[in-house]
C-alpha cells in the first residue's frame, strides 16, 4: 500500500513591537535577566493587562499579507496551565475568536502552484525563559509578555519538502511586511508540526503526532521526514499510531515521545475577564492595507514580466526581503537586471553558501557588483577574470576598479599581441594543427583554451576564437 503524509504547521512569530503585548516593558532582546519586567509581565497579584494597539496592527498586517479574513470582533482568552516560566500560570491568548482566519500561502511545486491554507492567526503572549542547570531551573521573565502571533496552517502539506517551502515563504512574507524579524536563533520564529499518514487516495485523517523542538527549517524538514517514515514503518509492522507529542532530537536525528494524550493538558480556556472586546473597523484595516509593501509573489511576477527573468531565478531572488533588496539596488546602480540576476544567482549565492553566510553578511556593495558587471560589458575584463575579481571583492570589500588596476587584470584586446600568443601555442602543439587539418574541429577548442591559459585569462575570448581559426587555416 502506498501512503501519503498529512502535515500541518503551527508557527509562532515574535512581533516587531517596541513594547510587550500587555505592558510597557521593552521587547529588546538580550537584556540582563529579569530587568525587562514589571508587575504585569511578572504576574504579580493585582496587576492587569492592557493590550498594545501595535500588536493588533501587526497581526492584521500579517493576516492581510497571508490572504486572511480579518475578524472584526474578537476577545482574548485564558489558557490555563502550570509551568515555572508562565508567571500567571495562564497565558492570555485567543481561543474561539482569532483575529484572522482562512488565508493561504502559495508554494511552487514542479507541477504548478499549490495553495496551502492558513486556518487562523491569533495574538498571544510569550512565556519567560527557563534555563535548566544541574542544580535547578533558573527563570528569566524578560521574554514573558513579548507579543507573538500563532499562525496555524490547514493540514494541506503532503511532504517535508512542501512544509519547508511553506515555512520559507511564510518567513519571507513576515519579513517583507516587517511584522517579525523571524530570527530562529533568538527564538523569534518557532515551529511545531502535526504529522499523520493515510493510504494514498483516501480522505480521512490518520492519528496525528505533534512534533516540537525543531530549531531550524532544516530540522523541520528532517524531523517531518523521519516522522513520516516512522509512522509508515509502524503501520506496516501492524502497530497503531498513538496521538502524542514528540520532540525532535537533533543529535540522534529522531523524534522521541514527550507525552501521550492521556497526559495531555486540559487548558480550561475561557474569555479573559480582565480585558474587553477588540473591535477592528474598516478604516483600521484599510490603513494597514495601504501600508503593505510589495509582497514576494507580486515582486516575483514583476521580475518575470518587467525584467524577463526565468521563473526559478525570480523565485530565488524574492525568497528573502534582503536578497531582493540587494538585487534591486544592483539594478538601480546601473546593472542590467539579467546580468545582475545571473551574478547573484551564481557567484554571490554560491560563495555565501560555501561560507554558510547570508546576504546580510556580504561585504560586496551592490554598486560595486554593478560596476563589476559594467567592467565585463565594456570589455575591460573578461568573465573569467571577473570571477577572480569578485573573489577579492568578497574577501576585502574593495571596489572592482581598484582590484583590476592593482592586479593588472585588464583584458588584452590587442590583435597583434594575441596573434603572437596564438602562434606560439600552435608551434608548441603540432599535433593539434595536424588534427585540425584532418577535420577534427575539436582541436580548435583545445588551442583556444591553451591561449587563454597562456594569457592568464586576460585575452579577449572573441578575438582569441577568431585569431585561432585564422592562424589554423593559414597552416
Partner 1 sequence: MHTKTLHEVKELINKKEISCVELTKSTFDRISKVDDKIGAYLQLDEEGALKKAREVDEKIQRGEETSFLAGIPMAIKDNICVEGLKTTCASKILENFVAPYDAHVTKKLKENDAVIIGKLNMDEFAMGSSSENSAFKKVKNPFDLERVPGGSSGGSAAAVAAGEAYYTLGSDTGGSIRQPASLCGVVGLKPTYGRISRYGLVAFASSLDQIGPFTKDVEDCAHVLNVIAGHDSMDSTSAKVEVEDYTKYLNQDIKGMKIGIPKEYFAEGLNPEIRGIIENGIEVLKKLGAEIKEISLPMSKYALAVYYILASSEASSNLARFDGIRYGFRAEDFEDVVDLYVKSRSQGFGDEVKRRIMLGTYALSAGYYDAYYKKALKVRTLIIQEYKKAFEEVDVILTPTSPTVAFKLGEKSNNPLEMYLSDIYTVPINIAGVPAISIPAGFVDGLPVGMQLIGDYFKEGTLLKVSHAFERETEFTKVKPSI
Partner 2 sequence: MSVTIKDVEYVAKLARLEFNEEEKQKFTEELNNILGYVEMLQEVDTDGVEISIGAYRVVNALREDEVKPSFDREKMLQNAPDSQDGYVKVPKVIE
Residues that bind partner 1 (CB under 8 A): 39, 42-51, 78, 80, 82, 84, 87-90, 137, 139, 266, 268-271, 273-276
- Rounded-to-10 torsion of CA 248, 250, 256, 261: -20
Q: Which does 408 bind (CB under 5 to 8 A by kind): partner 1, partner 2, none?
A: none
Interface mask toward partner 2 for 379-398; x: CB under 8 A: --------------------
Residue with cell 514503518: 233
Residues 6 or more apart whose Cβ sits within 8 Å of residue 2: 199, 200
Q: What angle do CA 340, 165, 62 make, to 5 degrees?
A: 90
Q: Which does 46 bind (CB under 5 to 8 A by kind): partner 1, partner 2, none?
A: partner 1
Measured from the CB atom, the residue of 138 and 312 that comes closer to partner 1 is 138
Q: Do 125 and 144 touch, CB atoms closer than 8 A?
A: yes
- Beta-strand relationship, 77-80 and 244-249: unpaired
Binds partner 2 by CB under 8 A, chosen from 52, 318, 320, 382: 52
Smallest gap from Cβ 245 to partner 2, in A, equals 11
Binds partner 2 by CB under 8 A, chosen from 46, 133, 262, 356: 133
Q: In angstroms, rounded to a whole number, what is the distance separating the alpha carbons of residues 87 and 432?
A: 82
Binds partner 2 by CB under 8 A, chosen from 69, 109, 115, 131: 131
User: What letter would DSSP give residue 412?
Assistant: B
Q: Which does 269 bind (CB under 5 to 8 A by kind): partner 1, partner 2, none?
A: partner 1
Please count the residues of the chain.
475
Measured from the CB atom, the residue of 34 and 351 that comes closer to partner 2 is 34
Return the residues of window 20-39 that contact partner 2 according to CB under 8 A: 23-26, 32-39
Binds partner 2 by CB under 8 A, chosen from 109, 130, 242, 257: 130
Q: In angstroms, rounded to a whole number, what is the distance separating the alpha carbons of residues 25 and 146?
A: 9
Q: Do 362 and 348 touch, CB atoms closer than 8 A?
A: yes
235 burial (CB, 10 Å; 0-12 / 13-18 / 19+) is middle
Smallest gap from Cβ 47 to partner 1, in A, equals 7
- DSSP string across 384-411: HHHHHHHHHHHHH---HHHHHHHTT-PP
CA dist list (Å): 44 to 144, 321, 383: 13, 41, 66
Establish if 137 lies at the interface with partner 2 (CB under 8 A): yes
Choose the binding region for partner 2 from 79-87, 186-194, 198-206, 230-238 (rule: CB under 8 A): 79-87
Residue with cell 475578524: 71
Smallest gap from Cβ 139 to partner 1, in A, equals 8
Q: Which does 138 bind (CB under 5 to 8 A by kind): partner 1, partner 2, none?
A: partner 2
Measured from the CB atom, the residue of 47 and 304 that comes closer to partner 1 is 47
Binding site for partner 2 (CB under 8 A): 17-19, 23-26, 32-39, 42, 50-56, 75, 82-84, 130-141, 247, 258, 266, 268, 271, 273, 275-279
Amino acid at each position: 500500500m502506498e501512503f501519503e503524509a498529512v502535515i500541518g504547521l503551527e508557527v509562532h512569530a515574535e512581533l516587531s513591537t517596541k513594547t510587550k503585548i500587555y505592558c510597557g516593558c521593552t521587547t529588546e532582546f538580550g537584556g540582563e535577566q529579569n530587568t525587562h519586567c514589571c508587575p504585569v509581565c511578572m504576574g504579580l497579584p493585582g496587576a492587569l493587562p492592557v493590550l498594545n494597539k501595535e500588536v493588533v496592527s501587526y497581526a492584521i498586517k500579517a493576516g492581510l499579507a497571508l490572504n486572511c479574513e480579518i475578524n472584526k470582533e474578537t476577545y482574548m482568552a485564558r489558557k490555563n496551565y502550570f509551568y515555572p516560566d508562565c508567571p500567571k500560570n495562564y497565558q492570555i491568548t485567543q481561543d474561539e475568536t482569532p483575529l484572522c482566519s482562512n488565508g493561504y500561502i502559495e508554494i511552487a511545486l514542479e507541477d504548478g502552484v499549490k495553495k496551502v491554507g492558513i486556518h487562523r492567526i491569533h495574538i498571544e503572549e510569550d512565556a519567560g525563559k527557563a534555563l535548566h542547570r544541574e542544580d535547578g531551573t533558573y527563570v528569566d521573565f524578560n521574554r514573558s509578555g513579548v507579543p507573538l502571533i500563532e499562525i496555524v496552517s490547514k493540514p494541506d502539506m503532503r511532504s517535508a519538502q512542501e512544509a519547508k517551502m511553506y515555512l520559507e515563504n511564510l518567513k519571507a512574507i513576515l519579513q517583507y511586511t516587517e511584522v517579525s524579524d523571524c530570527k530562529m536563533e533568538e527564538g523569534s520564529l518557532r515551529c511545531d508540526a502535526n504529522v499523520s499518514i493515510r493510504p494514498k487516495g483516501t480522505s480521512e485523517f490518520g492519528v496525528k503526532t505533534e512534533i516540537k523542538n525543531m530549531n531550524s527549517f532544516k530540522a523541520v524538514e528532517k524531523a517531518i521526514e523521519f516522522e513520516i517514515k516512522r509512522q509508515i514503518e509502524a503501520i506496516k509492522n501492524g502497530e497503531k499510531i498513538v496521538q502524542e507529542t514528540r520532540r525532535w532530537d537533533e543529535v540522534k536525528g529522531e523524534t522521541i515521545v514527550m507525552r501521550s494524550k492521556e497526559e495531555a493538558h486540559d487548558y480550561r480556556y475561557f474569555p479573559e475577564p480582565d480585558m474587553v472586546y477588540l473591535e477592528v473597523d474598516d478604516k483600521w484595516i484599510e490603513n494597514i492595507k495601504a501600508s503593505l509593501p510589495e509582497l514576494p509573489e507580486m515582486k516575483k511576477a514583476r521580475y518575470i514580466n518587467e525584467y524577463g527573468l526565468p521563473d526559478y531565478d525570480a523565485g530565488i531572488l524574492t525568497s528573502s526581503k534582503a536578497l531582493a533588496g540587494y538585487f534591486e539596488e544592483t539594478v538601480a546602480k546601473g546593472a542590467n537586471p539579467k546580468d545582475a540576476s545571473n551574478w547573484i544567482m551564481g557567484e554571490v549565492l554560491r560563495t555565501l553558501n560555501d561560507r554558510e553566510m547570508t546576504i546580510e553578511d556580504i561585504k560586496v556593495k551592490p554598486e560595486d557588483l554593478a560596476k563589476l558587471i559594467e567592467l565585463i560589458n565594456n570589455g575591460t575584463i573578461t568573465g573569467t577574470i571577473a570571477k577572480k575579481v569578485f573573489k577579492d571583492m568578497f574577501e576585502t570589500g574593495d571596489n572592482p576598479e581598484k582590484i583590476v588596476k592593482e592586479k593588472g587584470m585588464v583584458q588584452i584586446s590587442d590583435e597583434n599581441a594575441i596573434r603572437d600568443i596564438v602562434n606560439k601555442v600552435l608551434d608548441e602543439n603540432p599535433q593539434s594543427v595536424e588534427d585540425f587539418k584532418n577535420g577534427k574541429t575539436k582541436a580548435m577548442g583545445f588551442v583556444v583554451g591553451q591561449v587563454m591559459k597562456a594569457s592568464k585569462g586576460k585575452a579577449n575570448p572573441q578575438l582569441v576564437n577568431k585569431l585561432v581559426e585564422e592562424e589554423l587555416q593559414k597552416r
